[in-house]
Structure 1
Amino acid sequence: MLQKYLLCFIICVFAGDLVRSQPVGDPDPQRFQQQIETFLEWDAKNTFPEDAILFVGSSSIRFWKTRRAFPEYPVINRGFGGSHISDVRHFYKHVIHKYEPSVIVFYAGDNDVAADKPVEQVVDDYRNLTERVQTDFPEVKFVYIPIKPSSSRWNYWERMEKVNRRIKSYNQQYEQLFYVDLATPLLKNGKPDDSLFMEDLLHLNDKGYAAWNRVLAPALDTLY
């Protein structure tokens, strides 16, 4: 009887791992069409700086007051909230390629894991994006900001950490790819420091961004 229970347990665990490893379909990128058109309209009416530091990715980029945080640098912010890495890849020509940046600061993957995309799929999406960037701009420095720990998504943290570790290891293989740890400053006694987050316990507040600024600033001093 015990052997039967053990066998059932092993089968259930294996089945669960198999389900979690299956690729998940990407959400429709056209849900961001209006926001992308807003970027295009802005660029048509305004000049954007050359050799800029381009911040791109999901809402953690969108809400980041990057020009105020780094006034000494030419900065472009092209964050669009709720985006996956697949969305950044889809709109690559509009949110990355056209700006020919000197440095790219990238944050995405948070929403991917929360949508139950398996670790390998998220890492593959990141790898494909950086390969395209390196092909188009061999000299650009690409900074990956790891997926942040947050109380609202704490149940995903184990998988988010796996994504971060895999990407950190991948980045170490290339001179132009960098990993700046902005996840650890958000932890307190091993758990997310809720004082650094908005009421939704997902997005950073001003204190949270100040913590990011303190860590990222010296990295940009070195890279730019």
Structure 2
Amino acid sequence: MNWYEDEVSGLEKAHINDKTDPGIVFYGSSSIRVWGTLKNDFADRKVTNLGFGGSTLAACVWFFERIMVDYNPQALVFYAGDNDLGDGRHPEEVFIFFQQLMVQAKSRFGNLPCYFISLKPSVARWHLAEQFKYTNNLIAAEIEKSNSNWIFIDVFSRMLDQSGRPIVDNYQADGLHMTDKAYRLWTEIIEQELVKSLPLVNT
């Protein structure tokens, strides 16, 4: 995991003053890290971006305790697993990493509202679509079975066209990283779930 050290150290330095009141923490891979409009997209809420580039779900588990130390968030929104499958890991392995993440989040934050964003159907990794679907199904079923503080957020189905393939203009030229259009869609979907347990207060 040494290749993530610069990214993780950067997070620690950049957010040293955010720990006592981070609002909603967004944690995960580059889909989170490069979300440059995150604060504006959730302008009615306080959010902190703790994504680190290229991270796998395995890496997010590995660094969880270190990154989250002293944080007191209102909720945790998580995205990772995409890179694990891209690196050749099997859905069952990703599922085990998710179970470990659940245990860590419970230990660190108790019954804090936690949200898992489903793996997205990217153009570049469409050859792995069945593995992505299976992984999403495993995680969604685990969340439903556990009847816990976790919520599964489905973005996969909303990012497909009428033929059931990825909507191309949701992605940059690499077919993997998302465009502003895709992030606007994510904002809409995520906010629909957030408001159920974290309603906005009119001031």
Q: TM-score, normalised by structure 2?
A: 0.91
User: What is residue 68 of structure 2 aligned with on the other side?
Assistant: 96
User: Does 1:176 find its partner at 2:149?
Assistant: yes
User: Does 1:54 find its partner at 2:25?
Assistant: yes
- In structure 2, what is the Cα distance between the partners aligned to 1:164 and 1:101? 25
User: What is residue 22 of structure 1 aligned with on the other side?
Assistant: none
- In structure 2, what is the Cα distance between the partners aligned to 1:198 and 1:129? 29
RMSD, aligned CA: 1.4
The one-letter amino acid paired with 2:150 is: L
The one-letter amino acid paired with 2:147 is: Y
The one-letter amino acid paired with 1:53 is: I
Quick one: which of 201, 205, 209 aligns to 2:183? 209
Is the contact between residue 146 and residue 164 of structure 1 (CA under 8 Å) also seen in structure 2?
A: yes
Alignment of 1:185-200 (within 5 A): 185-189=158-162, 190-200=164-174
**Greater CA drift, 206-215 or 86-95:** 86-95
Quick one: which of 8, 25, 43 aligns to 1:71? 43
After TM superposition, give the deviation of residue 146 of structure 1 in Å.
0.7
User: What is residue 89 of structure 2 aligned with on the other side?
Assistant: 117
After TM superposition, give the deviation of residue 49 of structure 1 in Å.
5.2
After TM superposition, give the deviation of residue 48 of structure 1 in Å.
4.2
User: What is residue 112 of structure 2 aligned with on the other side?
Assistant: 140
Is the contact between residue 119 and residue 159 of structure 1 (CA under 8 Å) also seen in structure 2?
A: yes
Quick one: which of 23, 26, 31 aligns to 2:3? 31
Is the contact between residue 53 and residue 75 of structure 1 (CA under 8 Å) also seen in structure 2?
A: yes
User: What is residue 98 of structure 2 aligned with on the other side?
Assistant: 126
Deviations 1:184-207 (A, max 9, x none): 121002000001111111111000
Structure 2: stretches of 5+ with no match in the other structure: 199-203
Is the contact between residue 24 and residue 47 of structure 2 (CA under 8 Å) also seen in structure 1?
A: yes
Aligned residue pairs total 195
After TM superposition, give the deviation of residue 215 of structure 1 in Å.
1.1
User: Does 1:152 find its partner at 2:124?
Assistant: yes
After TM superposition, give the deviation of residue 86 of structure 1 in Å.
1.3
**Greater CA drift, 147-156 or 35-44:** 35-44
Structure 1: stretches of 5+ with no match in the other structure: 1-28
After TM superposition, give the deviation of residue 51 of structure 1 in Å.
5.9
Deviations 1:132-169 (A, max 9, x none): 11122222111010110011100111011100000000
After TM superposition, give the deviation of residue 90 of structure 1 in Å.
1.5
Which has the larger share of helix? 1
Q: Percent identity?
A: 28
User: What is residue 201 of structure 2 aligned with on the other side?
Assistant: none
Is the contact between residue 88 and residue 95 of structure 1 (CA under 8 Å) also seen in structure 2?
A: no
